Amino acid sequence: MTKNNIFKGLLPILLAAVIVSCKDSYVQPDFTKVSPIVELPVASLAGNGGGNSMSASFSIQSAPTDYFIYVNYAAPDANPSDVGVSLAVDTATLGKFNRTNGSNYPLLPAADYSLSNSITIPAGQRKVEYHIKFNTSLIDPSATYALPLKIVNASGATVSSNFGSLTLLIGVKNIYDGTYTIKGQITRNSATGPDTNLGGFLKSGLTTKVGTLTATSSPFSQYWRDGSATGGIDGLFLTVNPATNAVTIASTGNATLKNTPGYNSRYDPATKTFYLAFDWGTAPSTRIVVDTLVYKGQ
């Protein structure tokens, strides 16, 4: 038998010996000795050391809005008995988050939410829902607030060092908030007649952002025919009467802007569409707008 044939015959035996040797020398971890950890899980760990966060945005409602996060029991086996978990709103967590991220989120006022300081993970379960109620009608829509939560006790179980706290970033918006396609016609009158350069039917493809001022008022933008921004009407906004869906248009920067008489400016909740007509200025330099805004999405 040649040397090559001898080597080929021995090779499978040598590989098997190496595999068995490696398997025998590798110590399998004993997960039964891992201490249970209680945590506030998020999709991914913040890598900058400032603490984990989640963002939530709510529509402004008269009744409190229910929201929940999970409290998790992380262990090889389910908990053999009930685990009581204590949580607290922790300003130190928020301070660290703001310093690390260069942010300045204010603490959500206590009147704007309600929560329990404790929750129980029943025996045999790994996670439970921790509910928070937000009083969205009280939250200022012009700001984003923070609600920093921290696990302070877990009935003897270890509180996670990476997932033991969570900063919720809270914002509110009204039900009209979103991006809308805008179609319509704008007239720009002057002493010499209508301006056909800036006036006329709006170019296709335009959109406008309808934002949130209050539960019923929203800012939006108007354009000239060519899609350029219309000047002289800073602070343009609309207000919806929730009982009738009638819409009033006004401008904080132009007191002459008003609803055009004879036109039913309104909101159609079924199609999420605004039908608007408004004008401003004094003759002969008047401006007249007839718009249709159709909800497109956020």
Task: List pLDDT tens digits, range 33-47.
Answer: 568 999 999 866 777
Q: Are residues 165 and 182 in the same domain?
A: no
- 164 plus 57 within the same structural domain: yes
CA distance 97 to 92: 9
pTM (two decimals)? 0.75
Residues 91 and 196 in one domain: no
Domain span holding position 204: 178-297
167 and 220 both lie in a single domain = no
The count of domains in the chain is 2
Phi, psi angle pair for 115, to nearest 5°? -155, 165
* 7 in a structural domain: no
Instruction: Detail the DSSP E strand segments found in the chain.
Output: 37-39, 53-59, 65-74, 83-89, 113-115, 118-121, 127-134, 145-153, 158-159, 165-173, 178-188, 200-201, 207-210, 217-219, 236-240, 247-251, 258-259, 266-268, 273-280, 287-297
What pLDDT digit, counting tens, does each position of 186-201 carry? Answer: 999 999 999 999 999 9
CATH number, residue 210: 2.40.128.420
pLDDT tens digits, 198-255: 999 999 999 999 999 999 999 999 999 999 999 999 999 999 999 999 999 999 999 9
Q: Which of 125, 157, 173 is the C-terminal boundary of a domain? A: 173
| Same-domain status, 123 and 200 | no
Same domain, 154 and 204: no
